[in-house]
Structure 1
């Protein structure tokens, strides 16, 4: 089973690659073999059955990068195509359920700010009749991934603007009371995966609380370390998963 793991930035990709099964790091201590560049300038690391893509920040960049990698793989001889797409990286956690340094596995990937503001409140793109605002990962796979990594299993929200105020966090929490985390790429990755008929999973390591922007409180190092540990545990789960029945 070949898996495409999509990250936003190189630090996230390196952290994921360090956790995956494969050859030891190179002498310069960077993980795995040299990445190569796809059309569009996207870097991709190959590690066994896993390819780790650096697609850029935000849902549009994530969708474009993922679609590029999937289209190239679709042209390859069978069985070299992908069976699963995973959105992975760091993000904000909703306190107290998802503290800094913890992991969240999505049971729903939600486009939290795709829609319209109205006098009566926010309407999702689904409510507007223009499409859908939620992708559902395979339930069994998401549950296994959460169990293997000790992660919270909860919706992960995709936003184009990171929440940076208490009021913004309260509004999001009111609309999505079960949410565990927010990030900027999951829904874009999921849209591209769905266009290619592939299942999707999202894994987030928490670097900060959703709410007032306080850089001094960010735990980026802890989150990146958690991402490595998470994929060390997740690798066998993804390898063993046979796809939807």
Structure 2
């Protein structure tokens, strides 16, 4: 069993490794963007992968890994994210995605994007009741994924819908529009690509991120990146105990 631990950046991977061993490294290896290396984590055999930022980099990275390695049995996506609601998901809290949303797929209309407007789903798989098309949302089975990957839910874990974007939301107006239309709790830039790759490959996927900022705000008091990175390492360690 080989578990991929994927982060978007080296900064996030270093935070994860600091949580694991206090050194921020694993032996002499440390993956750069687009690279991966092997590492044991407690009783788990893992690949540490830094995908690069954004959905395209994430798709290319996980596609290469799944193409080169036939022993991958799951993907754990760790990192930081923005919160659309600091009352529900405060700065520094840890959130597990129970669904992944990609709001940029479909037909652009005056009323917004219609994900089914071009008539071609992103993916289609056979479900219990027949064919299941994937348009702009993937539902994630958290409890099943924790069990299949033999991981422990961190203390104080929150759950909610996560939205993957190509460009970070930079205004309060856009943040309000996204909440009204999609009801996300957090915003990230890689999760949907990784979730889709796992769905296509029939392997479990988990995405846990700590909250670093309020989506749509550039005010300094709404950004606590260092605190989120420290929390990321702490909660990453909890997964493997």
TM-score range, shorter chain: 0.7 to 0.9
| 2:97–2:160 CA contact under 8 A, matched in 1 | yes
Aligned equivalents of 1:47, 1:18: Cα separation in 2: 14
**1:215 positional shift:** 4.8
Match of 1:31 in 2: 25
* Secondary structure in 1 matching 2:64: helix
The 5 A counterparts of 1:218-237 are: 218-236=223-241
Aligned equivalents of 1:127, 1:234: Cα separation in 2: 40
1:92 equivalenced with 2:86 (yes/no): no
List runs of 5+ in structure 2 lacking aligned partners.
122-134
Equivalent of 2:57 in 61, 64, 67: 61
Aligned equivalents of 1:208, 1:52: Cα separation in 2: 25
* Secondary structure in 2 matching 1:130: coil
**1:104 positional shift:** 0.9
| 2:17–2:24 CA contact under 8 A, matched in 1 | no
**1:8 positional shift:** 0.7
Match of 2:19 in 1: 19
Match of 1:134 in 2: 137
| 2:142–2:206 CA contact under 8 A, matched in 1 | no
Aligned equivalents of 1:105, 1:175: Cα separation in 2: 21
Match of 1:83 in 2: 73
Which sits farther off after the overlay, 204-213 or 111-120?
Answer: 111-120
Higher share in strand: 2
Per the normalisation by structure 2, the TM-score is 0.82
* Secondary structure in 2 matching 1:31: coil
Aligned equivalents of 1:69, 1:35: Cα separation in 2: 17
1:118-145 deviation line (CA, Å, top 9, x unaligned): 1233212x45422122222223246887
**1:70 positional shift:** 1.7
**1:171 positional shift:** 0.6
Change (3 A) 1:3 1:34: same
| 1:163–1:211 CA contact under 8 A, matched in 2 | yes
Which sits farther off after the overlay, 45-54 or 155-164?
Answer: 45-54
List runs of 5+ in structure 1 lacking aligned partners.
75-80, 237-245
Match of 2:35 in 1: 42
1:152 equivalenced with 2:158 (yes/no): yes
- Give the CA RMSD over aligned residues: 2.4
Change (3 A) 1:30 1:41: same
Match of 2:168 in 1: 162
Per the normalisation by structure 1, the TM-score is 0.81
Across the two proteins, how many residue pairs are aligned to each other?
A: 221
Change (3 A) 1:206 1:62: same
1:71-124 deviation line (CA, Å, top 9, x unaligned): 2211xxxxxx12111222111012121111111100001112223321233212
Change (3 A) 1:30 1:180: same
Aligned equivalents of 1:11, 1:35: Cα separation in 2: 15
